[in-house]
Amino acid sequence: MKVAVAGVGAMGTRFALKLKQAGNDVTVVDGWDERVAALKQGGLRANLDGEEVAVDVPVYGQKEVPHDLHFDVVLFFTKSMQLEQMVKDMLPVFDDDTLALCLMNGIGHEKTLEKYLPKNRVFLGNTMWTAQMTRPDHVLLEDDGSCELRNVEPGEPQDRRAAELVKTLDEAGLKARLLDDPRYSVFRKGCVNGTLNTLCTLFECNLEEFGKTSRAHEMVVGVVKEFAAVGEKEGIHLDVDEAVKHVEDCYRVIGAHYPSMYQDLVKNKRRTEIDYINGYVARHGKKYGLATPLCDLLTAELHTKEELQNAQ
């Protein structure tokens, strides 16, 4: 499959590397100049499950992608606030049959994609893999994970193409699964990020350390209930007990991981994706007349921490 990975930080590198190693034709695109220069010089370099690997792929800066390239799929892995600009910059390479796949954290990304692309070419999901930039030229890829996706609009040929995408990702060792409802999956993943990313960033700890604290369960249940209430208004009937279990399973499966939001703010002094996670629930709760006190407070606290850290 001909794949462009648009946004090749930590997670984009995991997907690009694995897809390339499995024999796909992979091109990478990024907007961070230092990263692009490092990729052009040394390729995709990572510690992948304890082994140092370096793989050469075509690399383009976000503003210099040749318009005559063709891809079967563009896989978006920017930060949420960078997605819209990346979609606009990648539009010239979209042919009539190019698919857009977004597995990023955050709720509502399909709306951004649908502003620029026909709905039947928008594919959505999420990933439970972990990844971390160690330097602009190197990524750490450890832990077990998975990913899941589906076309947002049911029908052919997109149902068939979703199955093809899942097969390609799965054959690359990315443990892919075809979803029934991608928006359900995004809300369910939102529960993981709205609890673990946000709270581990505030408390500056990893998942396992947070999970061992005495009030962790109470906080997780409270936040998940707010995601479920907003989801309900948007036609998503989240199973709260199952979503809480999904969150709490992370303490065991990827306990040593510091969530991507922690990496952004605590490690790199970067702005976070909070407005697309708890912030989404807080904003939409207001719109639907629902009280979401925990998400309101967590969003305000994260922004305050960004301000105190002078995050860029």
Ligand X SMILES: NC(=O)C1=CN([C@@H]2O[C@H](COP(=O)(O)OP(=O)(O)OC[C@H]3O[C@@H](n4cnc5c(N)ncnc54)[C@H](OP(=O)(O)O)[C@@H]3O)[C@@H](O)[C@H]2O)C=CC1
Ligand Y SMILES: CC(C)(CO)C(=O)C(=O)O
- Give the catalytic positions in this structure: 189
268 lies in the site for ligand X, by CB under 6 A: yes
The residue nearest ligand X at its CB is 9
Distance CA(147)–CA(59), nearest Å, equals 24
* Contact pattern from residue 156 through residue 195 relative to ligand Y, giving x for each residue in contact according to CB under 6 A and a dash for the rest: ------------------------------------xx--
Provide the minimum distance between the beta carbon of 128 and ligand Y in the complex, in angstroms, as a whole number: 5
Instruction: Name which of ligand X, ligand Y, none residue 303 binds, using a CB cut-off of 5 to 8 Å depending on partner kind.
Output: none
* Residues between 84 and 103 with contacts to ligand Y, criterion CB under 6 A: none
| Contacts (Cβ under 8 Å, ≥6 apart) of 76 | 6, 7, 83, 86, 87, 100, 101, 102, 103, 104, 109, 113
Provide the minimum distance between the beta carbon of 127 and ligand Y in the complex, in angstroms, as a whole number: 7
Q: Is the peptide bond before 58 cis (omega within 30 degrees of 0)?
A: no
Distance CA(138)–CA(146), nearest Å, equals 22
The residue nearest ligand Y at its CB is 260
Q: In which residue are the tokens 């998400």 written?
A: 295
Among 39, 100, 186, 196, indicate the residue that binds ligand Y (CB under 6 A): 196
Region near ligand X per CB under 6 A, out of 6-14, 93-101, 172-180, 232-240: 6-14
278 lies in the site for ligand Y, by CB under 6 A: no
Provide the minimum distance between the beta carbon of 154 and ligand X in the complex, in angstroms, as a whole number: 25
CA atoms 300, 132, 85, 102: torsion sign:
negative
Instruction: Name which of ligand Y, ligand X, none residue 77 binds, using a CB cut-off of 5 to 8 Å depending on partner kind.
Output: ligand X
Burial class from Cβ neighbours inside 10 Å (0-12, 13-18, 19+) for residue 247 reads buried
Distance CA(266)–CA(139), nearest Å, equals 17
Query: Closest Cα to residue 216, out of 239, 241, 195?
Result: 195
The DSSP element (H or E) to which 4 belongs, if any, is strand 2-6
257 lies in the site for ligand Y, by CB under 6 A: yes
306 lies in the site for ligand X, by CB under 6 A: no
> Count of residues binding ligand X (CB under 6 A)?
24
What are the b/e assignments for 36-45, b being 16+ CB within 10 Å? bebbeeebbb
Q: Which is nearer to ligand X, 93 or 196 (CB)?
A: 196
Residue type, 80: S
CB 60 within 8 A of CB 29: yes
* Contact pattern from residue 109 through residue 148 relative to ligand Y, giving x for each residue in contact according to CB under 6 A and a dash for the rest: -------------------x-x------------------
Site residues, ligand X (CB under 6 A): 9-12, 30-32, 35, 77, 79-80, 82, 104-106, 127, 130-131, 133, 260, 263, 268, 270, 273
Site residues, ligand Y (CB under 6 A): 105, 128, 130, 192-193, 196-197, 254, 257, 259-260
